[in-house]
Structure formats: C-alpha cells, structure tokens
C-alpha cells in the first residue's frame, strides 16, 4: 500500500469524527441562527464524560456513548435555558456573547476540577494491518460510530414528527407556530441535540488521542470550517464535508509538513466563503 | 527596671533570632497545569526535598549566620506569558533573593530576560537549550547539559550497533527540541549515518497518524526526537498502535518519567538521554550520595526520582554551596562563587562557563542513555550508554 493511500484512509477515518462534531454546530446554526460558542467546551466535556465513565465502568468504551448522548441532551437543555432562550430573538451578537460566557464558565470549572493536564482513555481495539500500515481499531470504531449517529440524526429529522417540526421551525418559525408547533420546545430540543452531538464527538476523540479541558477549541475551529464547507442547516452535509476535510488532510500531508495543514484548512475556509457563501452543498432546507 | 529588663530581653531575642535563622527567599514557577505538568512537578519535588533537608539541618551556614530557605512559587500554567508576569512579581513584590528556573527551555528563556533585567541570580534546571547563554547574561547558571549533547550518546550507540541504519527525526517544534535535533543531525552526518526523514510537529499535537505514515514511507529504522511528556508519550503510544517496525526509538524527556510505565507495551525499548539516573554512582564531594538522594526522595514521594527531580535538588545544592563560599547571600559574591564552581555532587560534575560568549553555560556535566527494558519485576529503566556506565546491555533491535 502506498503512503498516500494509507494517509487518505487515516484522514477519512478522523474526518468522520470532525463531521460529527460539526453536525452539532451546523444544526444549531441552521435551525436557530445561533452561533454556539459553547461547542468546543461541550466537546471537551464529552471527552471527560468518557474518561469518567470508562474509569468507573471499564467496558467497551463505545458502549458508553449511549449515556454520554443522554447526558449531552440534558446538558443542552440546561445551556439552552441558561444562555440562549432569553436572547434568541435579539441580534446574533447577543447569543454569541451569552454562549461565549457559558463557554468560559465551563472551561473555568473544568480547569478547576481537572486542571489543563492531559488525560487518556486507555481503551484499545485491535487494528487491521495492510502491508506496512496499520489502521487502529479505535479509529475505525470511532468513524463507524460517527456515521451511525449521523444516520440516526438524519432518520430522526426526516422520518419522525418531531424531526419534521424541527425542520419546519428552521424554515419558518412563525408558520410552524401557526400550524401548532411549539417553537420554544422545538428550539430547546434542537439545541440539546446539537450539544449532544458535540459531546458524543468529544467522547469519540477521547478514545483516539489524549485531551485536556482546552482540547475542544481546535475541534470547534475545524467544526466552523466544516460547517462553512457544507452550508448551513443540513447536518448530514456536515458529516460529508468533515470526511472531505479529513481526506484533504490525508491527501496533502505526504507532500507538506503537517504543521502547514491549518493554513490550508483556513485558506479553504476563506475561499469557500468568498466563492460559495452558501457552502459547497448549497443551503438546503432543514 | 522591669521595663529595662523586658526591653533587653526583646532586643536580645530579636538579635539571637536574626543571628541564627534569617530567611532566604527562593522564587520559581511550577507548571502545575498545562502540557509541562508532569516534568515540572518532578523538578519541583527536587527543589522541595532540598529545602526541607536544608531547613531540617538548621539552614545554610554562611558567614557565621544560618539562613533558612523559604519558597515563593506560582503556577505558570506552562505558559510563557504567565512566566514573564510571575518572575517580575517574585522579584519586585515578593523580594526573592534568588530564583530557580521554571521547567522547559522556552519558559526559562522568558524568565531569564526578567531576572537579568533586575540583576538577580537564577539557576536553571530542566532547561537544556544553550542559546540563552550566548546573549551576554551575567547571573544565569545552567545545571543541565546543553541540548547539543542530548542525542550524541544515541548516535554513538547506533554507529556501534548498526552504522547502516536509516534515521527519522520527528520532534516538537519548540526551542529545546530544535536545539537538540539540529546539532544531532549534523553529528549523524559527521558519523556517516543516514537521516532519511525530518519533520517538526506543533507542541500541542495529539494526532501523529500523518507523521507516522511518512515515517513508514521513509523506511526509517530508527526514530529520534519527541519533546516533552505530553507529546512524547502520545507519539510512543501511536507508534506502537500503528506497529511501526522501528529498531530503535529515542525520545527526549518523556521516557525519563516514572509515569512512562503507564504506557505498558508501548514503553518497552524506548530510550531517553538522561541527565542523571540512580545507577550513575558519582562520588559526591559535596552533599549527599546518589543512593541517599534516591532513598530520601522515594520515601517522601513514594516514587523513584527522575533526572528532573535530581536536577531540581542539585540546583539547590549548588546554590547552597555558593552561598556558603560567598559567606552570605550577597548577589555579587554568590555570582562570583558560582563562576568558580567546579564540584562533583551526586548529580555529577557541575562547572559553568565563564567565557563572555557563553557565560553560565554548563560545561562540566555529562549525560547517559537509558532504556526501558522488561525483566522479571516488570519495566525497568537501565543505563545502556556509555558502556563504562552501563547497568544493562542495549537492546537492539527492539522489535
């Protein structure tokens, strides 16, 4: 197997996790027009959630995603009522600032509890070796889990009454309310799902790499890139864009130093914003 | 009359107290949080053990007085901006008499700007980069062997074992690692060894997949590099998980920590250039023996000392001797005593350069190469190079 092929497979696997992280941001942004700056902090909380649960119950770490998704929903509802509900009809800057404030609170409390020292989830699944290259079991499991969660969300949005309500509110909140949809409940649920997606992506990342309470920041930045690539309001598009971003990373790293990757990513971010302001998949209705 | 007796009593008490136990304040920062936490904490324990032993013995005896040591220290969060603020604070507000360095070359380079500006003596440990000492400093004294020497032992051992081996240099893009790897690359070429891949990574890197793929593609048999604990331990773990067929791995700093054993099988065979190991039995001209240091340290912290801990303790020991030689804490006199220092302690020889173009650079101390090997009791760190100091044979290849 050639180096570039192996590198692209690695990129594809981690790209699915980037995609899952971005889905949460994309859903909230698309449905509520809120740029959720607690995104990175909740990714980090997902990492520590996995660490705590795995320390207490050393079973297959990927089974622990279920309680983390549930806890993420509850946390999302809490953050919604604390920082978003009261400012949702105000200019976008208000929700930006209020979510930033909650982000700082989470980081501050997290630093007090866990410091900023690195933690690990010591769980390893056997990998697959092809020629000189080995693809770790954890990367494959994390990518598979990300795709399953993304598909479940897609089914929820397009096959359930509540999912339809979320898409209706995203399209036209007033019209949805006239049709008897409780927009407050729908917005709270959409926010909770977004936070839960962020937390579950953090939990997956924690099975791959060491992390600190500050680790969510870099995934938040990648989530912005992926969300802009995908366009707003179509979470599954974010998963595809995440995979594409991972593939791009994998394709270019054999030829340039890894430290140049952020420059390429953010260069792409600017190019897409200028040439495709609605994202490469266009703005779909949620 | 009663008042006179009371006054004499109070004054004499003050006089006696002042004569027998003045306090000297030593300031430093510790990375209690952040990426440098593991190594920095071990360095701090070395400082702390030295202070406790000195104070338990009545303090430093110099010029007919006893000086007890008190510390003022803060958490620098592994952050250079915090170091700049905190070293200024320790000099200006806390009135520190002497300073020890923070952990790591980059934090120390920042602290050195502040301490030199205020003419304060700072002994540096956990900081091997040599460039800081070429900037015309007068009060900076380095305990660690400079970075240029770090990988020489590994390359000499490789030359002896497998002169045709191909080398990958993968290292943290930070001042210390760069100061180690650049001279190592030149030395490898001087020895006729073949460096086939070189790449630096950002200090906060956690995903090494892309670099590992490149190492595999380069067909390197040996990997040298790393940086500090967080990145080094992650790199070793991921090299193992990706089953990279390397015959030798030498990483900077990280494998010296006792926490390295937590990596399990990923830890086996990995080597570390070390400033000091408990097996290196130097005959101490001053202070306690290596065995006594290791015993006291293990008793206090329930863990064996690393070379960062040894460097921390030795830092205090060398300052203590300089104050004794100077007859007190006068900065100019202590600096002169440090300039004249040429002493062997449990940590090895310490001698500072007095040349104008590298003042304070460590020129007396020598390093060893240690390797994590498996024996009946589990993972054990053995000295494998130089041959004269070895406690076990070098395991090569490791896979």
- Give pLDDT, residue B100: 98
* CATH number assigned to the domain comprising residue A147: 1.10.3470
Q: Would you say A60 and A121 are in contact if contact means Cβ atoms under 8 Å apart?
A: no
> Taking CB atoms and an 8 Å limit, are B241 and A134 in contact across chains?
yes
> Would you call A276 exposed, middle or buried from its count of C-beta atoms within 10 A (0-12, 13-18, 19+)?
middle
pLDDT per residue as tens digits for the range A257-270: 888 888 988 898 89
Return d(Cα B153, Cα B280) in angstroms, integer.
Answer: 15
User: Residues of A with CB below 8 A from B34's CB?
Assistant: 115-117
CA B326 to chain A, closest CA, distance in angstroms equals 41
**A208 → chain B, closest CA residue:** B207
Residue in chain B closest to A115 (alpha carbons) equals B33
ipTM confidence: 0.82
Pairing of strands B140-142, B98-100: unpaired
Judge residue B204's burial from the number of C-beta atoms within 10 Å of its C-beta, 0-12 exposed, 13-18 middle, 19 or more buried: middle
* Rounded Cα distance, B138 and B352, in Å: 11
pLDDT of res. B9: 54
CA distances from B81 to B30, B85, B106, B110 (A): 14, 7, 11, 8
**Taking Cα atoms as reference points, which of B240, B241, B244, B270 lies closest to residue B257?**
B270
Provide the pLDDT for residue A5. 87
Strands B122-124 and B140-142: parallel
A143 domain residue, yes or no: yes
Alpha carbons B382 and B271: distance in angstroms, whole number: 9
A286: in domain: no
Whole-number average pLDDT of chain A: 90
In a domain, A285, yes or no: no
Coil, strand or helix at B247: coil
Beta bridge partners of B349: B344
Question: How many angstroms separate the Cα of A7 from the Cα of each of B131, B167, B208, B215, B399?
Answer: 37, 21, 11, 11, 24
Tokens representing B9?
């009593």
Q: Give the CA count within 13 Å in the CB-facing half-sphere of A238.
A: 35
Helix (H) or strand (E) holding B248: strand B248-252
Distance of CA B4 to the CA centre of its chain: 55
- Which residue is closest to B262 within chain A, CA to CA? A122
Q: Is A110 part of a structural domain of the chain? A: yes
Measure B151 CA to nearest chain A CA, in Å: 23
Distance from CA of A36 to the nearest CA of B (A): 24
How confident is the model at residue B229, as a pLDDT? 86
Strand runs (DSSP E) across B294-397, as ranges?
342-345, 348-351, 368-375, 378-385
Residues of A in contact with B40 (CB under 8 A): none
Nearest to A259 among B33, B173, B230 (CB): B173
Shortest Cα distance from A14 to chain B (angstroms)?
10
Half-sphere exposure of A84 (CA within 13 A, CB side): 28
Q: Which residues in chain A have Cβ-Cβ distances shorter than 8 Å to B37?
A: 115-117
Q: For residue A285, is pLDDT > 50? A: no
**pLDDT tens per residue across span A23-67:** 999 999 888 888 899 999 999 999 999 999 999 999 999 999 999
Interface test with B, best of A16, A110, A116 (most B CBs within 10 A): A116
Task: Burial-class residue B3 by CB neighbours within 10 Å (0-12, 13-18, 19+).
Answer: exposed
Q: Do B38 and A133 touch (CB under 8 A)?
A: no
Query: Would A284 be classed as within a structural domain?
Result: no
Say what the pLDDT of residue A284 is.
46
Return d(Cα A162, Cα A141) in angstroms, integer: 29
Residue A283 lies in a domain: no
- Facing A136 at nearest CB: one of B35, B173, B241: B241
pTM: 0.81
How many domains does chain A divide into? 1
Which residues from A are below 8 Å from B when comparing CB atoms?
A: 2-3, 6-7, 10-11, 14, 111, 115-118, 124, 127, 129, 132-134, 136, 138-139, 208-212, 215, 218, 249-250, 253-254, 257-259, 261
Using CB atoms, pick whichever of A3, A209, A261 lies closest to residue B217: A3
For B390, counting Cβ atoms within 10 Å of its Cβ (0-12 exposed, 13-18 middle, 19+ buried), the class is: middle
Distance, in angstroms, between A24 CA and closest chain B CA? 22
Answer yes or no: do B213 and A133 touch at CB < 8 A: yes
Measured CB to CB, residues of chain B less than 8 Å from chain A are 32-35, 37-38, 77-78, 173, 199-202, 204-207, 209-211, 213-214, 216-217, 230, 233-234, 241-243, 245
Q: Is residue A280 part of a domain?
A: no
Residues of B in contact with A14 (CB under 8 A): 207, 209
CB pairs under 8 A between A and B: 86
Q: Which positions in chain A touch B38 (Cβ < 8 Å)?
A: 117
- Is the CB of A258 less than 8 angstroms away from the CB of B211? yes
Partner-chain contact B213 A259, CB within 8 Å = no
Answer whether residue A286 shows pLDDT above 50.
no
Domain limits at A195?
Answer: 3-275
Q: Whole-angstrom Cα distance, residue B18 to residue B328?
A: 13
The two most distant CA atoms of chain A are separated, in Å, by: 61
Domains of chain B: 2-145+280-358 (3.40.50.2300), 149-274+368-389 (3.40.50.2300)
Q: Do B207 and A134 touch (CB under 8 A)?
A: no
Position B365 scores a pLDDT of 93
Q: Which helix (H) or strand (E) holds B140?
A: strand B140-142
Residue-by-residue pLDDT tens, chain B, 399 positions? 556 555 555 555 544 444 456 999 999 999 988 888 888 999 999 999 999 999 999 999 999 999 999 999 999 989 999 999 999 999 999 999 999 999 999 999 999 999 999 999 999 999 999 889 999 999 999 999 999 999 999 999 999 999 999 999 999 998 889 999 999 999 999 999 999 999 999 988 999 999 999 999 999 999 999 998 889 999 999 999 999 999 999 999 899 888 898 888 899 999 999 999 988 878 899 999 999 999 999 999 999 999 999 999 999 999 999 999 999 999 999 999 999 999 999 999 999 999 999 999 999 998 999 999 998 888 999 999 888 788 899 999 997
**Residue A101: inside a domain, yes or no?**
yes
Which residues lie below 8 Å from residue B395, measured CB to CB, with a gap of 6+?
Answer: B269, B371, B373, B384
The pLDDT of residue A206 is 95
Is the torsion defined by CA of B41, B389, B156, B128 positive or negative? positive
Report the C-alpha gap between B338 and B335 in whole angstroms: 5
């Amino acid at each position: 197997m050639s180096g570039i092929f192996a590198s692209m497979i690695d990129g594809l696997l981690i790209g699915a996790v980037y995609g899952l992280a971005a889905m949460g941001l994309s859903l909230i942004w698309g449905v509520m027009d809120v740029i959720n700056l607690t995104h990175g902090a909740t990714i980090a909380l997902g990492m520590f959630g996995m660490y705590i649960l795995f320390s207490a119950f050393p079973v297959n770490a990927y089974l622990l995603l279920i309680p983390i998704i549930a806890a993420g929903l509850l946390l999302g509802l809490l953050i919604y009522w604390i920082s978003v509900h009261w400012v949702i009809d105000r200019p976008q800057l208000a929700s930006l600032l209020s979510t930033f404030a909650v982000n700082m609170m989470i980081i501050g409390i997290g630093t007090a509890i866990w410091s900023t020292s690195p933690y690990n989830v010591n769980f390893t699944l056997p990998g697959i070796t092809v020629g000189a290259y080995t693809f770790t079991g954890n990367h494959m499991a994390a990518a598979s889990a990300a795709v399953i969660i993304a598909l479940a969300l897609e089914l929820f949005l397009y096959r359930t009454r509540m999912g339809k309500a979320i898409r209706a509110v995203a399209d036209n909140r007033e019209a949805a309310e006239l049709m008897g949809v409780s927009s407050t409940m729908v917005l709270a649920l959409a926010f909770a799902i977004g936070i839960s997606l962020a937390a579950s992506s953090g939990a997956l990342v924690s099975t791959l790499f060491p992390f600190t309470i500050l680790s969510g920041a870099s995934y938040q930045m990648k989530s912005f890139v992926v969300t802009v690539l995908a366009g707003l309001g179509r979470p599954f598009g974010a998963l595809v864009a995440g995979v594409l971003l991972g593939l791009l990373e994998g394709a270019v790293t054999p030829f340039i130093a890894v430290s140049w990757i952020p420059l390429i990513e953010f260069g792409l971010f600017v190019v897409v914003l200028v040439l495709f302001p609605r994202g490469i998949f266009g703005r779909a209705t949620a | 009359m009663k008042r006179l007796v009371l006054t004499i009593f109070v004054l004499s008490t003050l006089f006696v107290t002042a004569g027998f136990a003045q306090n000297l304040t030593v300031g430093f920062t510790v990375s209690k949080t952040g990426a440098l936490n593991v190594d920095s904490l071990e360095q701090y324990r070395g400082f702390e053990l030295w202070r406790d032993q000195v104070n338990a013995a009545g303090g430093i005896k110099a010029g007919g007085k006893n000086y007890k040591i008190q510390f003022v220290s803060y958490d620098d969060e592994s952050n250079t901006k915090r170091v700049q603020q905190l070293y200024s604070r320790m000099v200006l507000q806390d009135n520190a008499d002497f300073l020890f360095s923070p952990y790591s070359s980059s934090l120390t380079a920042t602290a050195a700007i502040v301490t030199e500006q205020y003419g304060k003596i700072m002994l540096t440990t956990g900081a091997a980069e040599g460039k800081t000492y070429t900037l015309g400093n007068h009060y900076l004294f380095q305990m660690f062997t400079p970075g240029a020497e770090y990988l020489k032992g590994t390359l000499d051992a490789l030359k002896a074992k497998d002169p045709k081996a191909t080398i990958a240099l993968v290292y943290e893009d930070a001042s210390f690692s760069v100061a180690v790897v650049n001279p190592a690359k030149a030395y490898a070429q001087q020895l006729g060894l073949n460096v086939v891949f070189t790449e630096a990574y950002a200090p906060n890197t956690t995903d090494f997949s892309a670099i590992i793929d490149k190492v595999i593609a380069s067909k390197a048999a040996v990997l040298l590099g790393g940086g500090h604990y967080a990145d080094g331990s992650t790199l070793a773990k991921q090299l193992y998980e990706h089953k990279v067929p390397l015959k030798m791995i030498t990483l900077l700093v990280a494998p010296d920590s006792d926490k390295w054993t937590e990596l399990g099988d990923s830890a086996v065979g990995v080597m570390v250039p070390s400033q000091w190991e408990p097996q290196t039995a130097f005959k101490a001209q001053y202070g306690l023996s290596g065995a006594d240091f290791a015993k006291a340290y293990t008793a206090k912290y329930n863990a064996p000392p690393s070379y960062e801990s040894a460097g921390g303790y030795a830092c205090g020991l060398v300052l203590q001797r300089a104050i004794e030689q100077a007859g007190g804490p006068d900065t100019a006199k202590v600096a002169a005593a440090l300039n004249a220092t040429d002493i062997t302690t449990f940590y090895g020889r310490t001698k500072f350069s007095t040349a104008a173009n590298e003042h304070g650079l460590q020129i007396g101390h020598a390093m060893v190469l240690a390797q994590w090997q498996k024996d009946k009791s589990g993972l054990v760190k053995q000295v494998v190079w130089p041959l004269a100091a070895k406690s076990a044979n070098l395991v090569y290849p490791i896979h």
